[in-house]
A and B are shown apart, each in its own frame.
Chain A
Amino acid sequence: MRRATIVSLGLISSLALAVSGLTAAWLAGIRVPLASGATYVTIAKSGSAHFAGEPDGTVFILLVGSDLRPGVGGARGDALHVVGLNPTLGEGTIIDIPRDTCAYVPGSGTTKVNSAHAYGGPKLQAEVLGTMLGVTIPYAVSVDFAGFQGIVDAVGGVTVDVPTEMSDHYSGAYFSPGPVRMNGGQALAFSRDRHDFPTGDIQRSWNQGYLILSAIGQLQTEAKDTAGRFELLALLGRHAQLEGVGLADLYRLGRLAYAIDTAKIKNVKLPVASGGCAGGLTPNGDAPGLLADFADDGVLQTH
């Protein structure tokens, strides 16, 4: 049976799911049924998007993990990653943006960038980050805690080669270095742990990008046939809120993510230092050069 053999890709964190435009449907090994009718992820296409076919130019996609969960108000964009994929060069970049980075948010002034998601959802978050990075971000994928766990579980988990020891009771991240097949709860803990690192949220943000890359790589090797890809797209169709984007668009975006070797996708932290707004961070050091390098074609040639 195909479902039994095609692995449960693991998509991923719904983040990676996103990257592949959820395309990650590639998988086919849906092991845990998601709650019928529940929405786990939001995928939005902004009005400025002009993508209309096989992408032949750089595509920028925002992946957002929001902190929406029981007992926590709002839905701030606490995991922020802008992915640039260049099909011509066959390369890409993930820029990991600390949640406390300061930026101008329409209606709120200069404040922490993650507040944009609470005010205007993934579209406003994409607009604000696009301005900060100097790119147009036509696609945004947003997932909350429950959605993240649900999707990762649904696809059978995601394997992450844990780089360093993690032992954090706040997030529940307890991992030894080496490959770990993470379920939804473990993947969420891995993505939330900041207390194990001197740089806190900055390293956490990089870890999230690392998990996304792991998930994409897993997707690329474990799910390759059309039926499997359609299975995941159907899953997304049932559990994603699609705003201005259709499943066929996601299929093509997913193929784009699928086509680029993860070894050619750099995962880079945005350099920041204290300042810029109350309790916030501001891009510093080589940030302007990094962003200029990223903005022209989604690929870092000099960084």
Chain B
Amino acid sequence: MLIVALVVVLLVTISAHNGGKGASRPGTSSSGSEGLPYKGSIDLKVGPISVASSGDATTLDNKVAEKVLTAVNDYVDAAVIGPILSGRPARNLEKLFGLRVLNRIQTGGADRAALSDENLPDVAADLEATADPVGLDALIGPDGTVLMVGARLSLNLRTETADGPLTIARVGDLIFEPAADGRWQITGYDIEVTRNSAGSSTTTSASTEPTEAP
């Protein structure tokens, strides 16, 4: 299938060099754009786009699609790749998430565990990433304004740790809405992540469906 054919296999040229995170890791002082000890990033691509419109618009403007994709990439860099490689908590979440959901993330729990890869074993090899193109579902209002965009994320990571192979499979939807400054922020999600390490497997899911007290 086309989608399968389009699957992007990305070898993240991020080396954990001396094997592991922590102060001894080379490069911790030479940070990337987010202050992380690497300069690479996963370059996700836009996949199939669907549009639900209550007006005349039938397509999603390319500029909006690119902005949303940028926001997805920023999320992956800051909340997923960064913590894995640096061993530090995810940073700049307030830029990624809207206020509606930021409190849920900052209080930890399943939401944070599903959305970020923190507190994992130190990596000891290159991090390999495989991702489907990011499908986008847009909701457009009567006046043509793009109100919300859902991004379908399917991202698989693999690396080595001192405990053995570590694999992380993350799949689900991120819901984006435009912020006042024009950036697109995550205001909702339905995410599930499965981590396999040292012979054990754990699955964590989170959703902004308010099924429990935030």
Chain A residues with CB under 8 Å of chain B are 2, 25, 53-56, 87-88, 90, 225-227, 230-231, 233-238, 246-248, 251-252, 255-256, 258-260
Looking at A53, A234, A258, which has the most chain B CB atoms within 10 Å of its CB?
A234
What residue of chain B has the Cβ atom nearest to residue A55's Cβ? Answer: B210
What residue of chain B has the Cβ atom nearest to residue A53's Cβ? Answer: B100
B209 with A227: CB separation less than 8 A: no
A247 with B54: CB separation less than 8 A: yes
B52 with A255: CB separation less than 8 A: no
Please measure, in the bound complex, the distance between the C-alpha atom of A258 and the C-alpha atom of B139, giving whole angstroms.
Answer: 19
Given A247-B139, A251-B148, A255-B209, A234 contacting B214 (CB threshold 8 A): no
Contacts of B104 in A (CB 8 A): 54
Does residue B77 face the partner (Cβ distance < 8 Å to A)? no
- Among A2, A54, A247, A248, the residue within 8 A (CB) of B208 is A54
Please measure, in the bound complex, the distance between the C-alpha atom of A233 and the C-alpha atom of B190, giving whole angstroms.
Answer: 18
B91-149 contacts to A, CB under 8 A, are 99-101, 104, 137-142, 147-148
CB of A207, distance to nearest CB on chain B (Å): 28
A259 with B211: CB separation less than 8 A: yes
A230 with B150: CB separation less than 8 A: yes
Please measure, in the bound complex, the distance between the C-alpha atom of A2 and the C-alpha atom of B51, giving whole angstroms.
Answer: 13
B212 with A54: CB separation less than 8 A: no
Other contacts beyond A247-B54, A251-B188: 12, CB < 8 A: A53-B99, A54-B188, A54-B210, A87-B211, A88-B212, A226-B175, A226-B190, A230-B150, A238-B142, A252-B100, A255-B188, A259-B211
Contacts of B177 in A (CB 8 A): 248
CB of B210, distance to nearest CB on chain A (Å): 3
Does residue B173 face the partner (Cβ distance < 8 Å to A)? yes
A246 with B210: CB separation less than 8 A: no
Please measure, in the bound complex, the distance between the C-alpha atom of A148 and the C-alpha atom of B150, giving whole angstroms.
Answer: 29
Contacts of A260 in B (CB 8 A): 211
A227 with B50: CB separation less than 8 A: yes
Looking at B52, B173, B207, B208, which has the most chain A CB atoms within 10 Å of its CB?
B52
Contacts of B210 in A (CB 8 A): 54-56, 87-88, 255-256, 259
B175 with A56: CB separation less than 8 A: no
CB of B46, distance to nearest CB on chain A (Å): 15
Does residue B159 face the partner (Cβ distance < 8 Å to A)? no
What residue of chain B has the Cβ atom nearest to residue A256's Cβ? Answer: B210
Query: Can you identify 12 A-B contacts, CB atoms within 8 angstroms?
Result: A54-B101, A56-B214, A88-B210, A88-B212, A226-B152, A230-B139, A234-B54, A236-B54, A248-B147, A248-B148, A252-B188, A259-B210
Contacts of A251 in B (CB 8 A): 139, 148, 188
A247 with B147: CB separation less than 8 A: yes
Contacts of B55 in A (CB 8 A): 237-238
What residue of chain A has the Cβ atom nearest to residue B214's Cβ? Answer: A56
Given A233-B139, A236-B54, A226 contacting B150 (CB threshold 8 A): yes
What residue of chain B has the Cβ atom nearest to residue A254's Cβ? Answer: B209
Contacts of B180 in A (CB 8 A): none
Does residue B4 face the partner (Cβ distance < 8 Å to A)? no
CB of A9, distance to nearest CB on chain B (Å): 14
Does residue B213 face the partner (Cβ distance < 8 Å to A)? yes
CB of B106, distance to nearest CB on chain A (Å): 14
